[in-house]
A and B are shown apart, each in its own frame.
Chain A
């Protein structure tokens, strides 16, 4: 019995240890390369701790590769899309949860949008964006991302409202508040932690998205992830610049992810599991 529990314990430690190494090593390589001088690139054995760290790759990535423009675009687009998606999603979720609006059909229709392959919807959107003058505009991408993330915000908030008691809103209605006031002044403040978590998940989804931005933008409204195209094939061996840009892009979303860690299960399953 004792021997088998020791075996089980060491298997546990080995499994966890393996994954920590597996996850951290490539990540560490990218971050450390972003501060390596070019002379450290091609050595054998590889340099894991650069003796003379440098920030030149960051300035090059931000200014020579238009990383700064991408960063600003990503911030504006992700913030605006998050606001739109969260507000519209919370409104819809409230109605679905409290009034079963549209029966099951409306809720199902919203969530099925989440599983459509982007490649199947992007072609007509691309053609229509060109007709409507939305191609390569921030507003176009903001609308597209609000659409893309609505299933997430609606379903996360739908699950959230369903577990909130109705009694306070009912009391508010008895006190003479309109349904709008009951929603806006009573339900929303109570649901604020849920709204905040949903907003962060939406922001991360938009911040990390590539495909829509690749197709719907070009020289002006491009986001951070699309800049990585410039490094395809590494013809000019801009390893440091690529890694600096990657670091700039992944740091904020990882930081946000850590904040909503508690809500992760709900975020990943669109509210189906509580965790």
Chain B
């Protein structure tokens, strides 16, 4: 190899040097190709992780000078904080709720959209818009849309129901949870929809033709053809979405600020408050380690699954 280098170089000596370097580069080609990305990920994940392993066992707190070794005290503080547990509970409850709702709505929409019709392209473009909007803006927009006196939501509801409606959308439970659900479902139902639609479109039509020949009704066709054929794609959509849902932060930040009180603290919002508002950095780091360990079980399962899809 390295022929072009030899051909272009002015002297024999430099030709050998260039040839040597390029032969070396060619031999290690596959590793040199992964090196830049790998180094960047290492710099941003492994190195900070090792650093944070030190941070969790010392006192790294902007309110207390010095970095004294404190053992497991940071973990104890997190585990003993009732708010850590209630925010984790809310994170799990909200994630399960939004993923379930988005899945069912996304599936209904995908079933409705799977057949072609006039204007389907334009409808498709509208339905995927929320995927390209910053979650901050989604939170902000729903805050604007729902909140009195500015938002039109109460007015629209009162027109629909024929009586005055005055809901405190971000000031009262359970309305505040519904507001969060609305914003999340608005943004991420299209995610489920797009993936499930791709799965539906990939089901071979002859399976439905065979079912029809056997005199199977629409419901049973769904049960015996659609559901089993779609199962792997459903699982992929559900796990991908669930792993993002548990990170819920932006909408909380813009829409409720964790309130009323601490009623809408999610784990991400809680750790943000501890770390970046109260500056108990060690305590927040300990909390994020615990959160990470909890999630890593699910992440490992999903990653295995993704690799299988890739191999297929």
Residues of A within 8 A of B (CB): 4, 8, 11-12, 15-16, 19-20, 22-27, 29-30, 33, 41-42, 44-46, 87-89, 91-92, 94-96, 98-99, 101-102, 104, 106-113, 115-121, 123-128, 143-144, 146-147, 150, 154, 158-159, 162, 176, 178-181, 183, 204, 207-211, 214-215, 225, 228, 231-234, 237, 239, 242-243, 246, 249-250, 253-254, 256-258, 261, 264-265, 268-275
Q: Which residues of A are found within 8 Å of B303, using beta-carbon distances?
A: 108, 111-112, 115
Task: List residues of B (237-282) whose CB comes within 8 Å of A's CBs.
Answer: 240, 243, 246-247, 249-250, 253-254, 257, 267-268, 271-272, 275-276, 281
Q: Are B149 and A42 closer than 8 Å at their CB atoms? A: yes
Q: Are B247 and A118 closer than 8 Å at their CB atoms? A: yes
Q: Mark B1-36, 1 if CB is under 8 A from A, else 0.
A: 111100000000000000000100110011101101
Q: Are A23 and B126 closer than 8 Å at their CB atoms? A: yes
Q: Which residues of B are found within 8 Å of A242, using beta-carbon distances?
A: 140, 144
Q: Are B299 and A110 closer than 8 Å at their CB atoms? A: no
Residues of B within 8 A of A (CB): 1-4, 22, 25-26, 29-31, 33-34, 36-38, 40-41, 43-45, 47-49, 51-52, 55, 60, 105, 108-109, 111-113, 115, 123-137, 140-145, 147, 149-152, 155, 186, 189-191, 194-195, 198-199, 201, 218, 233, 236, 240, 243, 246-247, 249-250, 253-254, 257, 267-268, 271-272, 275-276, 281, 284-285, 288-289, 291-292, 295, 299-300, 302-303, 306-307, 309-310
Residue of B nearest to A33 (CB): B144
Which 9 pairs, one residue from A and one from B, show the smallest C-beta to C-beta distance? A124-B48, A257-B132, A208-B134, A95-B33, A124-B52, A147-B44, A120-B288, A46-B152, A275-B198
A79 to B109, CA, bound (A): 34
Q: Which residues of B are found within 8 Å of A26, using beta-carbon distances?
A: 141-142, 145, 186
Q: Which residues of B are found within 8 Å of A107, using beta-carbon distances?
A: 307
Q: Are A154 and B37 closer than 8 Å at their CB atoms? A: yes
Q: Are A119 and B271 closer than 8 Å at their CB atoms? A: yes
- Most chain A CB within a 10 A radius of its CB, from B52, B136, B291, B310: B136
